[in-house]
């Protein structure tokens, strides 16, 4: 704890004590006056002025910026009580510590110090009143410094709760959010890799093995007719293998999203869907790349879940925007019961949160289900 910081906080606490006394007097008059209609505007102006002084004091002496909105009689009453009690305790401690310090220095400087025996369990000491005064002053002033920081921290916490979080608290929350989002993105990437591996193993690899077996049998077959049949089967299997490869590549990332945009990519999802999918595209232009990608994957995963798990018969995708955000909402008439903590939906939530967006799932048992994602047009992180 630096001396400068202690001094600034001490001044802030002592000013808060004086301001708290003024606030208590104001509350004693203004609160009953609010019951009179004619006096209410003046009382509200006085409240706004005192809250503004509190914001200035917090910013100047306690290094705590607060929003320029909020702050009513409840905040003023709690702040005044804390300021008066905490400030009075610090002022008394500072006064007593100063007296002990002055007395100890006076005794040692003028040679009028007296011997003072100290009898402790198992220990017997003899010291002078001057040294005892200086020691006591050091202890009291240390307690005052700790008390000053405790009152300052309580002041900042009260302002965070009743005036809104300050810049430091907002930064702390942002760092915590980014840390959690980063770990979530790493987990989402690992989950996606495992899904791709399963797709390759269960689909592409199995068809590749079947194709190799058919060609091997055709190579070793002595019967030309049988060889022709095996080659024909191998050709059909190779077509299915190519379709499977295209399907896996499309699930990883569709080229249409980059080349033609979100509208075309969602149209492709609707065409490949086994149930009717209606897309209402209400965006004036193309979102930035990371936002466009997030909107696409939210819509595609929601459609896949609706078909695979909810057994939906009709799906609606609506994309809208305002001045600052773009949103997608996917509704279906399926059985509901979607679990937001499941692998697919939780991965989408992490993707959206990484872009400073909001993700929601409303899926009661029996349906219907609605999944929404709202993202800023210009995310601060990607």
At residue 218, the pLDDT reads 79
- List the Cα angle 313/317/321 in 5-degree steps: 165
Residue 1 has pLDDT above 60, yes or no: no
CATH architecture of 257-376: 2-Layer Sandwich (3.30)
For residues 274, 276, 281, 282, the Cα torsion angle rounded to the nearest 10 degrees is -140
Is residue 336 within 8 A of residue 364, CB to CB? The reply is yes
At residue 110, the pLDDT reads 77
Over residues 238-269, the pLDDT tens digits come to 887 777 776 666 566 667 777 788 898 888 88
Angstrom distance (rounded) from CA 284 to CA 286 = 7
Average pLDDT over residues 76-100: 90
All structural domains of the chain with their residue ranges = 3-165, 177-252, 257-376
Angstrom distance (rounded) from CA 247 to CA 337 = 28
Is residue 362 within 8 A of residue 369, CB to CB? The reply is yes
The highest-confidence range among 56-65, 236-245, 312-321, by mean pLDDT, is: 312-321
Is residue 300 within 8 A of residue 250, CB to CB? The reply is no
Angstrom distance (rounded) from CA 24 to CA 41 = 19
Identify which of 113, 112, 110, 109 has the alpha carbon closest to the alpha carbon of residue 132: 113
Please give the C-alpha separations between residue 293 and each of 171, 299, 339, in angstroms, as whole numbers.
Answer: 28, 10, 23
Over residues 160-197, the pLDDT tens digits come to 888 766 666 666 766 666 666 665 566 666 666 676 67
At 281, give phi and psi (nearest 5°). Answer: -100, 105
pTM summary value: 0.49
């Amino acid at each position: 704890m630096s001396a400068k910081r202690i001094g600034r906080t001490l001044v802030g606490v002592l000013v808060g004590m004086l301001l708290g006394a003024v606030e208590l007097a104001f509350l004693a008059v203004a609160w009953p006056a609010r019951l009179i209609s004619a006096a209410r505007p003046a009382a509200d102006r006085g409240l706004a002025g005192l809250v503004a002084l509190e914001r200035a004091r917090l910013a100047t002496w306690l290094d705590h910026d607060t929003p320029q909105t909020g702050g009513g009689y409840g905040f003023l009453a709690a702040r005044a009580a804390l300021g008066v009690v905490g400030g009075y305790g610090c002022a008394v401690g500072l006064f007593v510590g100063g007296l002990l310090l002055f007395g100890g220095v006076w005794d040692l400087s003028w040679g009028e110090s007296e011997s003072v025996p100290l009898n402790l369990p198992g220990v017997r000491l003899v010291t002078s009143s001057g040294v005892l005064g200086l020691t006591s002053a050091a202890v009291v002033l240390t307690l005052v410094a700790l008390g000053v920081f405790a009152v300052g921290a309580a002041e900042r916490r009260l302002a965070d709760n009743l005036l809104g979080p300050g810049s430091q608290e907002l930064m702390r929350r942002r760092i915590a959010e980014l840390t959690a989002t980063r770990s979530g993105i790493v987990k989402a990437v690992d989950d996606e890799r495992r899904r791709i591996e399963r797709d390759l193993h269960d689909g592409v690899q199995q068809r590749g093995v079947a194709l190799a077996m058919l060609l091997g049998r055709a190579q070793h077959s002595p019967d030309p007719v049988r060889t022709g049949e095996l080659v024909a089967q191998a050709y059909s299997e190779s077509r299915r293998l190519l379709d499977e490869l295209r399907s896996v590549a499309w699930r990883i990332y569709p080229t249409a999203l980059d080349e033609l945009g979100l509208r075309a990519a969602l149209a492709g999802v609707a065409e490949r869907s086994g149930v009717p999918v209606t897309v209402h595209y209400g965006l004036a232009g193309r979102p930035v790349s990371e936002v466009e990608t997030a909107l696409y994957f939210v819509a595609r995963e929601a459609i896949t879940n609706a078909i695979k798990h909810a057994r939906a018969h009709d799906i609606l995708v609506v994309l809208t925007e305002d001045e600052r955000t773009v949103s997608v909402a996917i509704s279906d008439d399926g059985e509901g019961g979607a679990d937001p903590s499941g692998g697919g939906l939780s991965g989408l939530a992490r993707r959206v949160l990484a872009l400073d967006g909001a993700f929601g799932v409303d899926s009661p048992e029996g349906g219907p289900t609605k999944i929404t994602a709202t993202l800023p047009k210009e995310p601060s992180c990607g």
